[in-house]
């Protein structure tokens, strides 16, 4: 792993829902991977609004307990068993979880500084987060890990913020559980490029 070209890594990135708690990377190596991404990835007007939280060990386990506790209150009892099995087998079973946030104070500051583009900055903030999600996802997979992207926000936002001392101005965008894959994803269907790309030359 780690010897792929960039485009090979992009092609290989998939959603892995069967993962275990192991990792070919140390905690320090995962931290460095995240730090490199956050430091060097682009953002609109160089706003640097992305915020990332890495949860390992008991903190990773606690996140998914919060998710289950939250869903238990709203999912019908007859259906909750299936929900719990999915969380336990595809997310909580992993080595860790990455939480992606966006600092809303920065978004608001950019809106005030550049009022002409005020309506765009919340959208551009989402773009910034997407860049961080995709890049870290690809980097993890290139290192031998599998991941998926989850969105239990905003249901879990308040309790997660309290549990992990998240500032009130950070907005939760996505959760990325990761671990060593124990099963390959199924085949992926591709829409015709003729419908998706226009080239003029």
The CATH number for 102's domain is 3.40.109.10
Count of all residues that appear for the chain in the document: 201
- The strand pair at 19-20 and 146-147 is best described as unpaired
CA distance 70 to 84: 11
pLDDT of residue 196: 98
Contact 126, 102 (CB under 8 A): yes
In a domain, 200, yes or no: no
Those residues with Cβ within 8 angstroms of residue 108's Cβ, 6 or more apart along the chain or in another chain: none
Phi, psi values for residue 147, rounded to 5°: -145, 165
pTM: 0.96
Instruction: State the pLDDT at residue 3.
Output: 77
User: How many angstroms separate the CA atoms of 101 and 13, rounded?
Assistant: 22
Q: Write out residues in the chain with pLDDT < 70, as ranges.
A: 1-2
Domain-embedded: residue 190: no
Q: Tokens for 115?
A: 């009022």
Supply the pLDDT for residue 39. 98
Six-digit token string for 14: 């998939």
Give the chain's domain count: 1
Contact 102, 65 (CB under 8 A): no
Q: Is residue 29 in a domain?
A: yes
Domain that holds residue 149: 6-182
Residues 6+ apart with CB under 8 A from 150: 91, 174, 175, 176, 177
**Is the Cα torsion angle 124, 190, 9, 64 positive or negative in sign?**
positive
């Amino acid at each position: 792993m780690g010897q792929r070209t960039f485009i090979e890594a992009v092609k290989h990135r998939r959603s892995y829902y069967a993962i275990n708690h192991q990792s070919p990377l140390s905690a320090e190596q995962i931290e460095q991977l995240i730090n490199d991404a956050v430091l060097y990835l682009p953002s609109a007007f160089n706003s640097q609004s992305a915020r990332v939280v890495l949860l390992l060990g008991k903190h990773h386990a606690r996140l998914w307990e919060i998710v289950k506790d939250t869903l238990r209150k709203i999912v019908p009892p007859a259906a909750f068993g299936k929900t719990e099995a999915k969380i336990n087998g595809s997310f909580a079973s992993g080595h860790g979880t990455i939480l992606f946030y966006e600092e809303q104070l920065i978004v608001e500051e950019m809106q005030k500084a550049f009022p002409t583009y005020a309506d765009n900055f919340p959208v551009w903030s989402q773009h910034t987060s997407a860049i961080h999600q995709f890049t870290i996802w690809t980097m993890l997979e290139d290192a031998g890990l599998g991941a998926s992207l989850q969105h239990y926000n905003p249901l879990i936002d308040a309790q997660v913020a309290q549990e992990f001392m998240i500032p009130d101005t950070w907005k939760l965008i996505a959760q990325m559980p990761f671990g060593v894959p124990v099963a390959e994803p199924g085949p992926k269907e591709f829409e015709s490029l003729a419908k998706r790309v226009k080239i003029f030359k």
